[in-house]
Structure 1
Amino acid sequence: MYELKTKENDNSVLEFIEAVDSPKKKEDAYKLLDIFTETTGYPAKMWGPSIIGFGSYHYKYASGHEGDAPLVGFSPRKAKISLYFATGDTEREKLLNDFGKHTTGKACVYINKIADIDVDVLRALIQQSIKFLQETYPDKA
């Protein structure tokens, strides 16, 4: 059976951030930690080796695949900072129009630095993502 690699664990969020090479990216990671913690009300937890997640939900797809994931999160990666929000939410796309300089992947929004984005829109994206996931997966959100 398929084993999810990205599971919540007890690794230290602060140790992970301290290990970030770039001083600027480390500074942004601490700012994001504050923003996500304040906005979600959830404590930061490590998910897998490199994702800082907040809250969790249990998903189950029509294919039968299921698992747990953070409601929202981020990861200060070498190239860019990855922000994790709900996928499939049309409100997300509207909010991203006013977000600032970013690129998107299937599930991630990528930024170079906090200075490139509107922090108020970031807070709105966090809140919208949690609302969407709690409505979509009401069992454990």
Structure 2
Amino acid sequence: MAEPKMKENDNSVIDFIESVESEKKKADAYQLLDIFEEVTGFKAKMWGPSIIGFGSYHYKYASGHEGDAPLAGFSPRKAKISLYLAYESEEREKMLENFGKHTTGKACIYVNKLADIDTQVLKKLIEQSVETYQNLYPNE
């Protein structure tokens, strides 16, 4: 079986943020770091080469596929900032109505910069993500 790409590791979160080329994205990444740590209560950890994750859960699908993932996370990518939060739900869609300028994927929300979004709504989305995954995958 292939080794998962997104695995928690001991790489430095600060070194990763410092490697971000755009000064604006770097500043946003530090602000996100503070917001995610404050809301989740977890210290940031690197997951794979480019995702900053907070907390973790172990999942196991009916197919037998299993692994670990962060409860919430983000990545300051070149094009946009990716926010890794609980997948699509009615509650999430309702919150996103007041979130600001963004696009979405199944479990990702993409933003150009923090100034485009309401950080109070972001905090609620992070709380919802942590709660969703902790309820779906309680620690055995």
Tell me the TM-score normalised to structure 2 length. Answer: 0.97
When structure 1 is superposed on structure 2, of 91-100 and 108-117 the one drifting more is 91-100
Are 2:71 and 2:85, in contact at CA under 8 Å, matched by a contact in 1? yes
Are 2:56 and 2:68, in contact at CA under 8 Å, matched by a contact in 1? yes
Q: Which residue of 1 aligns with 2:83?
A: 83
Q: 1-side partners of 2:77 and 2:41: how far apart? A: 24
Q: Which residue of 2 aligns with 1:10?
A: 10
Give a deviation string over 1:9-32, Cα, whole Å, max 9, x none.
000000000000000000000000
Q: 1-side partners of 2:20 and 2:64: how far apart? A: 37
- Following superposition, the deviation at residue 139 of structure 1 comes to 2.1
Q: 2-side partners of 1:139 and 1:38: how far apart? A: 22
The equivalences for 1:2-81 within 5 A come to: 2-81=2-81
Are 2:100 and 2:116, in contact at CA under 8 Å, matched by a contact in 1? yes
When structure 1 is superposed on structure 2, of 88-97 and 100-109 the one drifting more is 88-97
Q: Helix, strand or coil for the counterpart of 1:139?
A: coil
Q: Which residue of 2 aligns with 1:125?
A: 125
Give a deviation string over 1:57-86, Cα, whole Å, max 9, x none.
001111111100000000000000000001
- Following superposition, the deviation at residue 92 of structure 1 comes to 1.3
Runs (4+) of structure 1 exceeding 6 A deviation are none
Q: 1-side partners of 2:78 and 2:70: how far apart? A: 21
- Following superposition, the deviation at residue 88 of structure 1 comes to 4.3
Q: 1-side partners of 2:35 and 2:132: how far apart? A: 19
Tell me the TM-score normalised to structure 1 length. Answer: 0.96
Q: Helix, strand or coil for the counterpart of 1:15?
A: helix
Q: Give ranges in structure 1 of 5+ residues lacking alignment.
A: none
How many pairs align? 140
Identity of paired residues, percent? 72
Q: 1-side partners of 2:62 and 2:2: how far apart? A: 16
Cα RMSD over matched residues?
Answer: 1.0
